[in-house]
A and B are shown apart, each in its own frame.
Chain A
Amino acid sequence: MATPSAAFQANPLPRAGVLLPAFTLWWRELVRFYRQRARVVGVIASPLLFWVVIGSGFGSSFRSGDAAGQQHYLDYFYPGALIMIVLFTSIFTMMSVIEDRKEGFLLSVLVAPVPRAAIVLGKVLGGTTLSAIQGLIFLAFAPLVGVHLNLAGFLLVVLTVFLVSFALTALGFTIAWSMDSTQAFHAIINLFLIPLWLLSGAMFPLAGASAWIRFLIRINPLTYGVEALRDVLYPGNLAEFPLASSLATLVLFSAFMFGLSFIMVSRRTTKPAA
């Protein structure tokens, strides 16, 4: 049995807490993003490109369809497009978990006396920030679909985008944590991405769908992100669920995904961590 003796030097290490390590991991995520210029270009250009193609290229064909009843389809589609951008960016930023593991960086974080919650929080908030920024860039096009937000509306959109980003980034984190290759990550993510988006009410309104599709849409957490946005952007009768219940669902979804990530990270196994 080891007995500490006077021969040992004092160890004046302060308690790290959760916030400082979480902050530093978040900061690193942003610095790394900024230093890889291709990623910066991608984040800014993709919403632009998306909007140019949809807006001017397919715009008229969408409008002539008048698929969503009293509203133009392009207007109907706008919140769904925003959510899609957030969805892809959120989940794919967590590929960095796999890279960190491969590059050995993650090991040095794991052997540090950092609360495991701080590791999840730092990484997930880093990804959340990036995808929320991208979502908000897309929000700049809102006036083009006739949406003019007041401050309260804008803040509600920011809150919704943040919650959706956080939950989806945590989902990406959970999946990425146990993966050892980015190819495997892509394969698994594709199983999630397309169904999540198609069944979120982003493309098709809930009303016309068959009963089992309606059920799937209702249990898809992303639906409530699209719904919340629709509520705020088009205050009227378009949304199926009240804003408060949509936001509450998103908070629950975020908390659940965070909890799942936390469990993944806290698990200590007899298998090598790298």
Chain B
Amino acid sequence: MVSKAPDYVALDSQNNAAPPPTVISVQDLVHCYDGRTALNGVSFDVRPAELFGLLGPNGSGKTTMFRILSTLMVAGGGRAVIRGFDAAKEPNQLRRQIGVVFQAQSIDLKLTAAENLWHQGHLYGLRGAALKSRITEMLARVGLSDRAHEKAETFSGGMQRRLELAKGLLHHPAVLLLDEPTTGLDPGARRDLWQYLQILRDEEKVTVIVTTHLMEEAERCDRLAILNEGKLVALGTPGELKREIGGDVILLDARDAESMVERIRARFNVDAKVLGGQVRIEQESGHRFITDVVEAFPGEIESISVSKPALEDVFIHRTGHKFWTEDAERPS
């Protein structure tokens, strides 16, 4: 591998003598299709029993990453390794290590819940009494025991998603890959799913890697890789990433945001920016700063707010633009 200066700053270096063991290792992954660069030199490691999030807006490359890790697609360049198996060279060994939950449905609606799992078990070489008891166990864990013998087409969206999860976990994978697993779920079902992922990590030591475009889901991950336009823009725990902002985030509305930015820069010597029509400033002791600003420009500021940095602010800090932009296109 060619070593090159990373275009991001890793915040999670722990200065340990021995590096922590790695379950998933992504090295300098590059992927292009249809003339578009979906991944542009992404590297990160995932540790055992970690709940790892891939956060990014649509078109950031996280679905491409998911497809490469789940062996559905071969990367154009770089390496992806799960538990020692290279996704490009040893797909079948790698497939034995992972359970996969897709964004779209993958269960067969014409089969019953139990039949879906029976079929899935056979694909993984499970059979007989062992498979039967595992199916019973999984159906109980996702709360579908009483619907085991009903066709999946009669299930609600949340129940179908739980069956997807049972399908992905049936063969005791060491690594679980999920692509936007809460798509189309109501808030209650979302919470349940995330709670379950945390239980899996804590009690069964499953390494979970999940893609999401939702900040509140990213907050629940142990560590995050934030992707933007195919590049890794940040890597670390949500707490570390937010601390990097160093202070508070101040947003203010003024009649002429552009001129206000100039004047705030001149007067306070801080880095102010216009973002989405608002003036945005990252500043320590924001509560004191806003009184100064309001007093400095009496009557010109229509509203002002101060808040602790959120993950969205990390994204803005690293990329200079908002998480959702008008030109963010969706590849699939």
Residues on A close to B: CB < 8 A? 1-5, 7-9, 11-17, 20-21, 23-24, 27-28, 31-32, 35-36, 103-105, 107-115, 268-274
Contact = CB atoms under 8 A, between A and B. Distances in A.
Nearest to B25: A2
Given A9-B172, A13-B172, A14-B125, 14 more contacts: A2-B22, A2-B24, A8-B174, A13-B96, A13-B125, A13-B171, A20-B122, A20-B125, A108-B167, A113-B93, A113-B96, A113-B123, A271-B33, A272-B33
Nearest to B70: A111
B23 interface: yes
Contacts of A7: 21, 48-49, 205
B30 to A, nearest CB: 10
Interface stretch (B9-17, B98-106, B279-287, B313-321): B98-106
Contacts, number: 142
Nearest to A32: B110
A108 B174 contact: no
Given A16-B123, A24-B123, A270-B73, A32 B108 contact: yes
Interface in B116-131: 118-120, 122-127
Contacts of A3: 21-22, 84
A107 B106 contact: yes
Contact of B108 (A8, A105, A111, A114): A105
Chain B interface, DSSP helix/strand/loop, else mixed: loop
Interface in B259-291: none
B158 interface: no
A26 B144 CA distance: 26
Contacts of A269: 73-74
Given A7-B205, A108-B100, A113-B124, A272 B105 contact: no
Contacts of B167: 108
A38 B122 CA distance: 28
B111 interface: yes
Contact of B100 (A28, A31, A103, A111): A111
A61 to B, nearest CB: 43
Interface string B22-34: 1111000001010
A14 B134 CA distance: 14
Contact of B125 (A2, A9, A16, A31): A16
A211 B108 CA distance: 51
B87 to A, nearest CB: 10
A171 B137 CA distance: 41
Contacts of A27: 119
B74 A104 contact: no
Given A1-B25, A16-B123, A107 B110 contact: no
A107 B111 contact: no
A3 B48 CA distance: 11
B174 A9 contact: yes
B174 A11 contact: yes
24 contacts: A1-B81, A3-B21, A9-B172, A11-B96, A13-B171, A17-B125, A20-B125, A20-B127, A24-B123, A28-B111, A31-B110, A31-B115, A32-B110, A104-B104, A105-B107, A107-B102, A108-B102, A114-B123, A268-B73, A268-B74, A269-B73, A270-B74, A273-B72, A274-B104
A104 B102 contact: yes
Interface in B137-168: 151, 167
